[in-house]
Structure 1
Amino acid sequence: MADYIITVDQGTTSTKAFLLDRKGELTASKPCPITQIYPAAGYVEHDAEEIFLSVLRTIADLLVSCPEAVKNVDSIAITNQRETTVAIDKTTGKPVYNAIVWQCRRTSDICKREELQKEEQYISRTTGLKIDPYFSATKMRWFLENVPEAKEKNDKGELLFGTIDAFLVYKLTNKKSFASDYSNCSRTMLFDIRNLKYDDKLLELFDIRKNSLAEPKPSCDDFGTIELTKEVLDEYDLDDDQKDILLTLNGIHIRGIAGDQAAALFGQNCFHKGDTKTTYGTGCFTLMNVGEEPVFSDNGLLTSAAWSIDGKTTYALEGSVFQGGSVISWLKDELHLIDKPSECDDVCNSLVDNGGVYLVPAFTGLGAPYWDADVRGTIVGLTRGSGRNHIVRAGIESIAYQVTELVDLMNEDTGISSTHMKVDGGVCASEFLMQLQSDLLGIDIVRARSDEMTAMGAGLLAGLTTGFFTSLEELKGLYYSSKTYSPDKDAGEARKTLGEYKKAVKTAAFMASLEGESL
């Protein structure tokens, strides 16, 4: 038997590849950054061909640095940024336009159309989602209405629409397989999460051909066989050693796929109803395992299929914060208030309190529970004594406030009060943030030893498919935490600042409501 699983983690800002061994240890490639393209205000795109090249490079570099894994790979797993949508030429496998990223708000006007709004309840109860530019269906509609080549090929039946996982499967299998897993299909706004199939009424509503979409499959399944050719690899900026080592993967099967947040929930061993995790990455994503029946939120949260194993589907209740780690990037790259993210803790701790300064980081609108695409970033509470440190602290605190709102609403929707929350992601390196999160929620925050729970989860799913791992019980023995943060403030005292943050959100929403008005 082979000794390794290769996990591809294709994220919003970078791609990484990992080797997962039988002890649950991950060995990572160097990350390959993804160019962020901003063609207009609120628009975010990626070059899908650059994404595919990044996958090839990271896998090749991983195998070059770990020669013991060459021809010793059990299977391949994929986890990916969800909702990001690619319009693909069915014949060539090439994208006809840049991928529209999940953060992109260009379809706000589409979401406001009367024919969609009057089906809001049907969409919510069928897909578990809200009508929002976040999800894939309106992105597909935008392609057809604004990219002539997409419309032309769609009319001829020569266009495919895929999330990133489906695009990668299509490319890696030399166009032999076009498939996606239930967790990714759940984010298209076209998928019936109870019956685990595309909904005919929604396909008609958005005018999307069913045969242009990826085949929905359980997370643990066979998604196709790697079939790379020298001719295809010659089209990409790879050296001969990289091409040769990539060709050794031919014949290996892709056996596990999950969208990034579902994968992280699984990697965190949140196998039981009520188990909760938050991934602090570019955005923040809080998910609660709600068992084998979907729970539909009354508070603006989302419901999705998380994974499906042996015919049983596990569902998750989810809250999405669009701006998490990206707030820190903004403080560094646009405002130049910090030189590196690690400075944030010292800056925050240099102040006794936040000085009444609050940031609402609605750079691309607000996600759960507000779902307002028109709100924009707002800072409130500035005085003559406010300075650089207050703004940095307001940015870090905003991340914790947003997550706290999500967890509160999950508890309300489910009646489950968690005693702890597992966390992962690079932003967890901020001890100030983690302690604040514990104080606000009044529960323990348990940080995983590895922040790569997304890659871990996808790899574990592939391993269960092939028998590399035998059971959930075995997987529990592979999880390790690194640190636990316990509340050290009275929850009522800590939550006074949360109330002030909510006032700031109302201010930002009021400002958005005045757009276009003259005062």
Structure 2
Amino acid sequence: MSNTILSLDQGTTSTRAILFDAELRPISSAQEEFTQYYPHPGWVEHDAMDLWQTSVRVIRNVFADTVTDSGAYPAALGLTNQRETTVVWDAETGNPIAPAIVWQDRRTSATCAKLRADGFEAEVTKRTGLLLDPYFSATKLAFILDQTEGAREMARAGRLKFGTVDTWLIWNLTEGNPGGRVHATDATNACRTMLYNIHEGTWDATICDRLGIPIEMLPEVRDSSADFGETTLFSAPIPIRGVAGDQQAATVGQACFRPGMMKSTYGTGCFALLNTGSTPVTSQNRMLTTIAYQLNGTPTYALEGSIFVAGAVVQWLRDGLGIITDAKDTLELAQQADPEQNLYLVPAFTGLGAPWWDAEARGAIFGLTRNTGPAEFARAALESVGYQTRDLIEAMHADWSATPEDTTLRVDGGLSANPFAMQFLADILGAPVDRPANLETTALGAAYLAGLAVDLCPAPDEFAKVWRADATFTPQMDAALRKQKYDGWTDAIHRTLSKA
């Protein structure tokens, strides 16, 4: 064994492994994409075996680069994963009984609508902190049990296991575990299933009964930094000691350990989490109440908001409009834009997320003039990310009055590398924006949780002290202009809403 930590990051489109040293600096990495399946409109599936096999291959590729010669295997493995994606498998054969239903999948919309019409959403929110939506695992699991021949009978006989992707990978990784295969998850993944009572810390019998889900097929829920068995698949045993859903792992990687701290990850969409400490805050603005991480049996809660389109708006400029050839082109174009033009782009391509939750809204552009061109489109696209983030933060402030007005936002994800977008974000928030020196925050968070469990990493307060910013963006816009621009955005949003 060495003082290195292996992080396995199983994402929606690719699987990646990163080996970190004892100072949590990346040493080596490997990544592999896998196939996405779209059998019907609104359906998104993965082959669960692809998720497993790519995980094995990327780990072996990292070891081939760094471990083979020295024979020094990592002291621990941390796992982070795409959340809500649902896998059901036969415990006797180890084979999935159906394709994995991905978090993006909307096939259970009608089921959710019926439950909502029956008045069940309030019960779900009270118990789980979530909205009644196909996004979460519960109705996906019920669908697999209902639509797969013989599944209900197998479930009643105790043969079937359910898990989000972390649980599926742990089950397979622990094939040779001394105590047998481990069927477990952590609190951050459990709380995204819509089956977990975040107040009691248990699977919720009322919701399971309503959906016909046997509690016996659900995994044991453990801390985010805990014993998840060991894997013996790589020549030497490696203990699995850290598990967290991807957005929560990024929260840990950003060292957002104090109440009031907030991180926002800018990928295809955007996920913002606000640490609310030991208090689960019930949102009045349709934000989600979730668990940020759980250590020593104690959950730390968060408010979460989702923006559907962040980096995807840049992809639209490239692939839809053809006005750029590379995402980096938006920086120069935005800087060239005419400051006298006030163009607003509302990227509601698939509806609006938090705090609006308007699935029927569609994208719109306001303020076009004869002189509007590619530069103005690029600037409006980048600015839309800042405006949407402010919408989230305004809602969070309304939900949790303890949020300090001068909270610094910590950012990560691909779009955080764009200085124009991050400067505008600071300007429209009227608050600093910190971009970390280590941008691998999701994998870093999983590695930290694993290292914490084997005493390689310091306690959270000490870890927070070594967090470093690569860049800090401070507000440069005066208050009057900030108000004018945000008022214009608010007007554009209300014109776009389907119920306006």
TM-score (norm 1): 0.89
Question: Deviation string for 1:57-81 (max 9, x for gaps)?
Answer: 2111111111367433111100111
For the Cα contact (< 8 Å) 2:28–2:65, is it kept in 1? no
Shift of 1:491: 3.6
Aligned to 2:26: 26
Match of 1:369 in 2: 355
Aligned with 2:199: secondary structure?
coil
Deviations 1:414-437 (A, max 9, x none): 221243111111210111110110
Distance 2:34 2:359 in 1: 25
**CA 1:505/1:61 → structure 2, altered by over 3 Å: closer, same or farther?**
same
Q: Determine if contact 2:171/2:182 at 8 Å carries over to the other structure.
A: yes
Q: CA deviation at 1:46?
A: 2.4
Q: Which residues of 2 match residues 285-324 of structure 1 at below 5 A? A: 285-324=271-310
Q: How does 1:27-426 map to 2 (within 5 A)?
A: 27-67=27-67, 70-114=71-115, 117-148=118-149, 150-151=151-152, 153-154=154-155, 156-174=157-175, 176-228=181-233, 247-249=234-236, 251-353=237-339, 355-415=341-401, 416-417=403-404, 418-426=406-414
Amino acid at match of 1:302: L
Amino acid at match of 2:355: P
Name the CA distance, whole Å, in 2 between partners of 1:326 and 1:92: 40
User: Shift of residue 155 of structure 1?
Assistant: 5.2
CA-atom RMSD in angstroms: 2.3
Contact 2:257 2:464 (8 Å CA) reproduced: no
2:457 matched to 1:456? no
Mean Cα deviation higher: 425-434 or 470-479: 470-479
Structure 1, unmatched stretches of 5+, are 229-246, 515-519
Q: Hey, what's the Cα distance between the residues in 1 that align with 2:466 and 2:186?
A: 24
What is the distance in 1 between the residues matched to 2:372 and 2:43?
Answer: 32
Aligned to 2:11: 11
- Sequence identity, in percent? 40
Q: Distance in 1 between matches of 2:352 and 2:147?
A: 25
Give 1:281 deviation, angstroms. 1.7
CA pair 408-492 structure 1, distance change in 2 beyond 3 A: farther
Task: Give the total of aligned pairs.
Answer: 493
Distance 1:377 1:329 in 2: 15
Q: CA deviation at 1:330?
A: 3.2
Cα deviation for residue 104 of structure 1 reads 2.3
Residues 70 and 248 in structure 1, CA contact (< 8 A), matched pair in contact too: no
Asked whether the equivalents of residues 360 and 379 of structure 1 are also in contact (C-alpha less than 8 Å), the reply is yes
Per the TM alignment, residue 117 of structure 1 is displaced from its structure 2 partner at its CA by 4.7
* Residue of 453, 456, 461 corresponding to 1:465: 453
Distance 1:359 1:3, change over 3 A: same
Q: Quick one: structure 1 residues 285 and 22, their matched pair in 2 at CA, closer, same or farther if it must change by over 3 Å?
A: same
Supply the AA of the counterpart residue of 2:64: V
* 8 A contact 1:12–1:282 mirrored in 2: no
Q: Distance in 2 between matches of 1:465 and 1:79?
A: 15
What letter matches 1:40 in structure 2? H
Deviation at residue 38 of structure 1 after TM alignment? 3.0
Shift of residue 34 of structure 1?
3.4
**1:14–1:460 Cα change, 3 Å:** same
Question: 1:289-311 CA deviation, whole Å, 9 max, x = no partner?
Answer: 11112111111111111212123
Equivalent-residue separation in structure 2 for 1:320 and 1:469 (angstroms):
31
Residues 338 and 156 of structure 1: CA distance in aligned 2, closer, same or farther (over 3 Å) = farther
Letter in 2 for 1:8: L
Aligned residue type for 2:348: A
Moved over 6 A (4+): none
